[in-house]
A and B are shown apart, each in its own frame.
Chain A
Amino acid sequence: MTVVQGKSASIARRSLLSAGLAGGFVLAFHLPVRAFNEPVQPPDETAGKLAPNAFIRIDQSGKITLVMPQVEMGQGVYTSLPMILAEELDADFSQVTLEHAPPSDKLYGNPVFGVQATGNSNSVRAWWKPLRVAGASVRAMLLQAAARQWQVDPASCVTSNSEVMHQSGRRLSYGALALAASSEVPPKDVPLKDPKDFVLIGKPLKRLDTPDKVNGKVVYGIDAMLPGLKFATLRKCPVFDGKVARVDDSAARKISGVRTIVVLDDLVAVVGDHTWAAMKGLDALVIDWDEGPNAGVSSAEIWRDLRAASESDGAVAKSVGDIKKGLASGDRLELAYELPFLAHATMEPVNATVHLKSDSCEIWTGTQVMTRVQSEAAKAAGLPIEKVIVNNHLLGGGFGRKLEADMVVAAVRIAKHVDGPVKVIWTREEDIRHDIYRPVYRDTIAATLSGGKIVGWKYRVSGSSVMARWFPAGFAKGVDIDGVDSAIDIPYEIPNLQVEFLRAEPRAVPTGFWRGVGPNNNVFAIESFMDELARKAGKDPIDFRRSMLASRPRFLGALNLVAEKSNWGEPLPARVGRGVCLQPSFASFIATVVEAEVDEFGEINLRRITSAVDTGIAVNPDTVAAQLQGGLIFGLTAALYGEITIEKGRVQQSNFNDYRMLRIDQTPRIDVHVIKSGETPGGIGETGATAGPPALRNAIYAATGIPLRRLPIDRALIAEGRKA
């Protein structure tokens, strides 16, 4: 299906209202929004008037339009959210039309974040209840309208497939009822379906966004085409925060198709008749940079700083029992785990198209943060927010990169020097060298064992606080709530436990969210350490975990299922091992086993991956399986290859030749077992990324006895055969 472009807030409101007046109807209602902080923009003109969150439009032709508050970046929400709405609406799912929501925190703010943002694997979790209520309310209004028209008891009517039916056999389509229903009063406390009556939720329905993705019709932000469009590409100072000193553009100006050379304080852009002219022009520029104070920054220095910082006490995020007593006796083990900087490398390189006029700014892009883009663009353009129109698109991958607005701000600044619309595409090299990186982390865990169980556990996360910059309310009293997310939700019963966060910002390197966010780091450290503890206790890794899960049935269920399905315990050839990971992340309960072979040179051959997933009600179980399959590849790519390193203030990697990705010839069989559950849905989009690295690390440990404590996997260390 083709996704229709939503309008910006004020226009959308007008069109929603006029649609209502013209004979369709729009459901308006309030959500119980839990705002962590002040809105990022002033209230829009709907404040105090309609102030709705509007998700459903039905016109008299029967066309049902569902407005998507979250963005689609591959994770399947443009199918799962419509399924939730259509389930309670009793709409004919094959006939729904989707529309990208315009920017508006008021109308489309994520109920968990309080702002319009897609992240933290929470689209289904956050919207589960509100969208069910939205669908059920509209259904009730349509049903009431039909009953009124027929002068019958509403209880004698039912709904199905976009129709209201009476027991007499009379029926009316939703389209025929749209006008009448718009004057019905939305019910209070509308009843929701009993899950046993679901006809859509729980079924592996076909995705709504994929038919246009097999034939080139889909339009991503990078595909925006406008009359008179110019094409640009840019280069920022290779050293973080460096400035432009001098530009010699004499050669660039001679290149056919080059139109404008834009020199700003921190970047240079070339604008041309096509992207090729812009790229050639950029390469022909001779740029002297003022590298500034970061010209000496290196990974070695950043790691030296982080290791030193991590020796101090952190802010306590969680405390259970008596940690001093817990660590005072028993067999003690204390280890540190380290994770590198990572780039996102979305397949669609960072880009934005901007048409800046004296009194307005229109933007075409694919973003995870509509209102942030709108407000940042307004600042850069020097215009009021309502003069900035943002047209969102399907995203060619997000992974957290598009939770940032830097690419839009850069494009607006460039657009100030261009007459008409300009599309600014970053080359892959710029995309890798000027990402906002997953931070380096150092995790230190001290634990004691007694009788084969953990009695004391002190876990300190040291690293950047992304929250402190991105969502200040998420960094309070020294604790980054994302940074310790899966550390405070540790699956295991531990009587004495302390979790600390120590904020240590790396010099020069900007840090941001990356698929798997805080849990990615927590789960790697916890699950790697669990295997080292199991070995110290002389126990099988799964038996060791199981012994501390008696009161945690959902974890135990996932772990037992993965043990069975992965043939855990069955003999393997030499240098082949199985590794397990159990994780509490994003309100899903997931156990994963990776089976891998390690050769004498330290090369890894992935043989098989098995996951058991309890995510509560799986709205679309096929999407759940797909997210695990893909997320595991994403995480294993990082474990096997992912590392951004800094030398002389510059990122050393540049493209897929030196920032490698896992490919199909390295991909093993992956089996995902989705556990039937009636619990509230959990998150799923990031879980595979979190599961892969520790499970692989533990498989290597099982195969070789070599305990890796850093990522990416160090083949030289394995080849040396150094054991603990």
Chain B
Amino acid sequence: MATTLTINGERKSFDAPSDMPLLWVLRDLLGMTGTKYGCGIAQCGACTVHVDGKPVRSCMLTVGAVRDRPVTTIEGIGATPNGAKVQKAWLDLEVIQCGYCQSGQIMSATALLNTIPNPDDADIDAAMAGNICRCGTYVRIRAAIKQAVFGRQS
């Protein structure tokens, strides 16, 4: 059945069963492949997107449950002030290795800054512990979130 969602500020229409996870709508129906499949059971965070500004695991959020709330993905997060700051800090500190989990990491980090503008280590751990990085970039993720807060130039 035809569904319409607002994704990164644009109206997108597609045919999908209402129990289809948002992840597969984004990737397979809309060709927005920046959001990643990692586990399918909300254990790894690679599929994190924002729904109404909150970080959610799109692998387990059905498209029917999104209703009329706006969706932001990695393709659109750079248009938000905190998203742009996080992306810049990620590059300044060269956080990324393989990068497959980093869409999710950046979405989680941006959501953190949206709710806690100046997070401490415990806030960072709490907000980011749901995102697995197999390359082990955690030390730099922590440093980059702090850099994004203080906006220091590299």
A binds B: yes
Contact A394 B138 (CB under 8 A): no
Interface presence of A44 (CB below 8 A): no
Contact B132 A630 (CB under 8 A): no
Q: Chain A, 40-79, contact with B by CB distance < 8 Å: what is the 0/1 string?
A: 0000000000000000000000000000000001111000
- In the assembled complex, which residues on chain A have CB atoms less than 8 Å from the CB atom of B103? 216
Contact B139 A74 (CB under 8 A): no
Contact B141 A664 (CB under 8 A): yes
Interface presence of A347 (CB below 8 A): yes
- In the assembled complex, which residues on chain B have CB atoms less than 8 Å from the CB atom of A664? 124-125, 128-129, 131, 133, 138, 141-142
Contact A274 B129 (CB under 8 A): no
- In the assembled complex, which residues on chain A have CB atoms less than 8 Å from the CB atom of B34? 215-218
Contact A622 B99 (CB under 8 A): no
**Bound Cα distance A537, B21 (Å):** 61
**Bound Cα distance A297, B116 (Å):** 52
Q: Chain A, 206-221, contact with B by CB distance < 8 Å: what is the 0/1 string?
A: 1101110111111110
Most interface-central of B103, B135, B141 (chain A CB within 10 A): B135
Interface presence of B38 (CB below 8 A): yes
Contact A215 B87 (CB under 8 A): yes
In the complex formed, the residue of B with least CB distance to A345 is: B134
Q: From residue A712, how far is it (CB to closest CB) to chain B in Å?
A: 17
Interface presence of A463 (CB below 8 A): no
Given contacts A207-B96, A225-B31, A348-B36, contact A213 B102 (CB under 8 A): yes
Interface presence of B98 (CB below 8 A): yes
Interface presence of A271 (CB below 8 A): no
**Bound Cα distance A220, B97 (Å):** 13
Contact A663 B132 (CB under 8 A): yes
- In the assembled complex, which residues on chain B have CB atoms less than 8 Å from the CB atom of A665? 125-126, 128-129
Contact B102 A395 (CB under 8 A): no
**Bound Cα distance A354, B135 (Å):** 28
Q: From residue B82, how far is it (CB to closest CB) to chain A in Å?
A: 13
**Bound Cα distance A396, B35 (Å):** 13
Q: From residue B119, how far is it (CB to closest CB) to chain A in Å?
A: 12
Most interface-central of A206, A214, A347 (chain B CB within 10 A): A214
Contact A275 B125 (CB under 8 A): no
Provide the main secondary structure of the chain B interface.
loop
Given contacts A215-B34, A274-B24, A276-B28, contact A656 B39 (CB under 8 A): yes
Given contacts A74-B98, A213-B99, A664-B128, contact A428 B135 (CB under 8 A): no
- In the assembled complex, which residues on chain B have CB atoms less than 8 Å from the CB atom of A19? none
Interface presence of B120 (CB below 8 A): no
Interface presence of A633 (CB below 8 A): yes
Q: From residue B84, how far is it (CB to closest CB) to chain A in Å?
A: 10
Interface presence of B43 (CB below 8 A): yes
User: In the complex, which residues 262-291 of chain A have their Cβ closer than 8 Å to any Cβ of chain B?
Assistant: 273-276, 279
Contact B37 A214 (CB under 8 A): no
Q: Choose one: A223, A256, A396, A626; the contact of B94 (CB below 8 Å).
A: A626
Interface presence of A222 (CB below 8 A): yes
**Bound Cα distance A210, B77 (Å):** 16
Q: From residue B148, how far is it (CB to closest CB) to chain A in Å?
A: 12
Contact B138 A210 (CB under 8 A): no
**Bound Cα distance A10, B70 (Å):** 48
Contact A223 B91 (CB under 8 A): no
Q: Chain A, 664-675, contact with B by CB distance < 8 Å: what is the 0/1 string?
A: 110101100000
Interface presence of B67 (CB below 8 A): no
Interface presence of B20 (CB below 8 A): yes
Contact A225 B33 (CB under 8 A): yes
Interface presence of B6 (CB below 8 A): no
**Bound Cα distance A395, B39 (Å):** 17
In the complex formed, the residue of B with least CB distance to A395 is: B98
Contact B140 A629 (CB under 8 A): yes
Q: Choose one: B17, B130, B137; the contact of A630 (CB below 8 Å).
A: B137
Q: Chain A, 606-632, contact with B by CB distance < 8 Å: what is the 0/1 string?
A: 000000000000000010001101111
Interface presence of B71 (CB below 8 A): no
- In the assembled complex, which residues on chain A have CB atoms less than 8 Å from the CB atom of B138? 633, 662-664, 667
Contact B96 A214 (CB under 8 A): yes
Interface presence of A397 (CB below 8 A): yes
- In the assembled complex, which residues on chain A have CB atoms less than 8 Å from the CB atom of B10? none
Q: Choose one: A206, A217, A396, A627; the contact of B36 (CB below 8 Å).
A: A396
- In the assembled complex, which residues on chain A have CB atoms less than 8 Å from the CB atom of B53? none
Interface presence of A586 (CB below 8 A): no
Interface residues contributed by chain B, number (CB under 8 Å): 58
Most interface-central of A218, A276, A397, A622 (chain B CB within 10 A): A276
Q: From residue B93, how far is it (CB to closest CB) to chain A in Å?
A: 9
In the complex formed, the residue of A with least CB distance to B88 is: A214
Contact B106 A397 (CB under 8 A): no
Contact A274 B128 (CB under 8 A): no
User: In the complex, which residues 57-116 of chain B have their Cβ closer than 8 Å to any Cβ of chain A?
Assistant: 73-75, 77-78, 87, 90-91, 94, 96-103, 106
**Bound Cα distance A73, B96 (Å):** 11
Contact A397 B135 (CB under 8 A): yes
Q: Choose one: A217, A345, A626; the contact of B97 (CB below 8 Å).
A: A626
Interface presence of B44 (CB below 8 A): yes
Interface presence of A655 (CB below 8 A): yes
- In the assembled complex, which residues on chain B have CB atoms less than 8 Å from the CB atom of A211? 91
**Bound Cα distance A204, B74 (Å):** 27
- In the assembled complex, which residues on chain A have CB atoms less than 8 Å from the CB atom of B135? 74, 347, 397, 630, 633-634
Given contacts A215-B75, A657-B43, A664-B138, contact A394 B99 (CB under 8 A): yes
- In the assembled complex, which residues on chain B have CB atoms less than 8 Å from the CB atom of A637? 136
- In the assembled complex, which residues on chain B have CB atoms less than 8 Å from the CB atom of A347? 36, 38, 44, 46, 98, 100-101, 132-135
Contact B73 A216 (CB under 8 A): yes
Contact A397 B125 (CB under 8 A): no
Interface presence of A298 (CB below 8 A): no
Contact A218 B24 (CB under 8 A): no
User: In the complex, which residues 124-138 of chain A have their Cβ closer than 8 Å to any Cβ of chain B?
Assistant: none
Interface presence of B5 (CB below 8 A): no
Contact B32 A216 (CB under 8 A): yes
**Bound Cα distance A667, B73 (Å):** 27
In the complex formed, the residue of B with least CB distance to A668 is: B139
Q: From residue A498, how far is it (CB to closest CB) to chain B in Å?
A: 36
Interface presence of A425 (CB below 8 A): yes
Interface presence of A154 (CB below 8 A): no
**Bound Cα distance A665, B139 (Å):** 10
Q: Chain B, 1-39, contact with A by CB distance < 8 Å: what is the 0/1 string?
A: 000000000000000110011001001110111111111
- In the assembled complex, which residues on chain A have CB atoms less than 8 Å from the CB atom of B140? 626, 629
Q: Chain A, 251-265, contact with B by CB distance < 8 Å: what is the 0/1 string?
A: 000001100000000
Interface presence of A680 (CB below 8 A): no
**Bound Cα distance A662, B77 (Å):** 27
- In the assembled complex, which residues on chain A have CB atoms less than 8 Å from the CB atom of B29? 274
Interface presence of A346 (CB below 8 A): yes
Contact B90 A214 (CB under 8 A): yes
Most interface-central of B16, B128, B134, B137 (chain A CB within 10 A): B134
- In the assembled complex, which residues on chain A have CB atoms less than 8 Å from the CB atom of B131? 663-664
Q: From residue A174, how far is it (CB to closest CB) to chain B in Å?
A: 28
**Bound Cα distance A87, B130 (Å):** 41
Contact B74 A216 (CB under 8 A): yes
B residues neighboring A (CB under 8 Å): 16-17, 20-21, 24, 27-29, 31-41, 43-44, 46, 73-75, 77-78, 87, 90-91, 94, 96-103, 106, 124-126, 128-142
A residues neighboring B (CB under 8 Å): 73-76, 204, 206-207, 209-211, 213-220, 222-223, 225, 231, 256-257, 273-276, 279, 345-349, 394-399, 425, 427-428, 622, 626-627, 629-634, 637, 655-657, 661-665, 667, 669-670, 688
Closest 10 CB pairs of A and B: A216-B34, A633-B136, A396-B100, A74-B98, A74-B97, A213-B99, A630-B136, A665-B125, A274-B28, A223-B33
* Other contacts beyond A209-B99, A276-B20, A425-B37: 7, CB < 8 A: A75-B97, A274-B16, A275-B27, A396-B98, A428-B41, A663-B130, A664-B128
Chain A to chain B contacts (Cβ below 8 Å), 9 pairs: A218-B99, A273-B28, A347-B38, A398-B98, A399-B134, A425-B37, A626-B97, A655-B43, A656-B39
